[in-house]
Structure 1
Amino acid sequence: MTVPYTGGCQCGQIRYEIWAEPLTLYACHCQECQKQSSSAFGMSMPVPRDAVVILQGKPKQWQRVSDSGREVSCLFCEECGTRLFHNPARNSKITNVKPGTLDDTSWLMPVGNLWTRSAQKWVVMSEQMLNYEAQPSDFTQLFEQFQTE
């Protein structure tokens, strides 16, 4: 895949483009991601925040505190509820795109798992991936691993 990456919400009210390559892609097994995804985990694809362009619609935003104790702004479609982006307060240069909202998801290949200590018991973690019991203090390995894939 090459830029721009395109995506949107389920109902089509919000459409976006990403004009930079992703920095990494990982699955998060924290309880908040399980709730927001209504599944066993959520996925995050960090990109430079200024590379995200909203083409249509306006996401609604609300704040929450993550399992790591950090503030996160969550952006979603007010009409259908699709979670689109997370903007971490700790890094104003990054937006975590929820990659299931991309138009083409065929190329997605996470390189790591975060918060494995709260993963559902039936989820099998690959030893080929970077696995963290909680939030890593440094994402360098996740970025480097993604660049080599």
Structure 2
Amino acid sequence: MTDNVEVCDGGCACGYVRYIINAAPFITHCCHCSYCQRQTGSAFALNALFDAKCITIKTGDIEEIITPSPSGKGQVIARCPQCKVALWSSYFMGGIKSLIRFIRVGTLDEPAQFPPDVHIYTQSKQPWVKLPSNSVVFEKFYDFKAVWSKENEVIRQSLLAKALDDK
């Protein structure tokens, strides 16, 4: 897992939105689902998952749009209202929408620090995309307990409990 980064900055293409993250990510996904392909205009999306409370917008503000997701529950994409770059997503899975953000790694100032820990939805991966032989690969999604570190799984469970308490 990408756990050596404690503080990182990022922002949109035009510079209107700038944010800072004061934590290491739980995990970094390289998602090959057809939704991510369409939404990014590329072969995959690279998302680092962070506790939302560790992310602070330094300048600007965001606009949110709701789009479909493989789960059928949808996602909220946070974009710069000026250049429209997608900065992060929040998914409606398991009630954690406002608690975990899927940061678009390409919006980070130093994206090379966040290589993928897992490749997901590889059943819809473009055939010309070749993954390294040591990649952790899932045809669809995965069981959190089997993939996340024990520490991060405890945090995820506490966030999930909080989400259920807030309902």
- TM-score normalised by L of structure 1: 0.89
1:122 has 2:128 as partner: yes
Paired residue type of 2:103: V
Decide which structure has greater strand share.
Answer: 1
| Equivalent residues, number | 145
Q: Aligned runs of 1:95-106 on 2, under 5 Å?
A: 95-106=101-112
Which residue number in structure 1 is paired with residue 57 of structure 2? 54
Q: CA deviation at 1:142?
A: 3.6
Which residue number in structure 2 is paired with residue 94 of structure 1? 100
Any idea what the Cα deviations from partners look like across 1:41-93, whole Å, max 9, x if unmatched? 00111000111101111111011220121221110112112110101122232
Aligned residue for 1:125, secondary structure, equals coil
Paired residue type of 1:5: C
Query: How well do the aligned residues superpose, as a CA RMSD in angstroms?
Result: 1.8
Which residue number in structure 1 is paired with residue 24 of structure 2? 21
Structure having the higher Rg: 2
* Runs of 4+ more than 3 Å apart: none
CA distance in 2, matches of 1:128, 1:141: 17
Any idea what the Cα deviations from partners look like across 1:84-121, whole Å, max 9, x if unmatched? 01011222321110111001122222111111011111
Q: Given that residues 5 and 113 in structure 2 are in contact (C-alpha distance below 8 angstroms), is that contact kept between their aligned partners in structure 1?
A: no
1:133 has 2:157 as partner: no
Q: Which runs of 5+ in 2 are unaligned?
A: 153-167
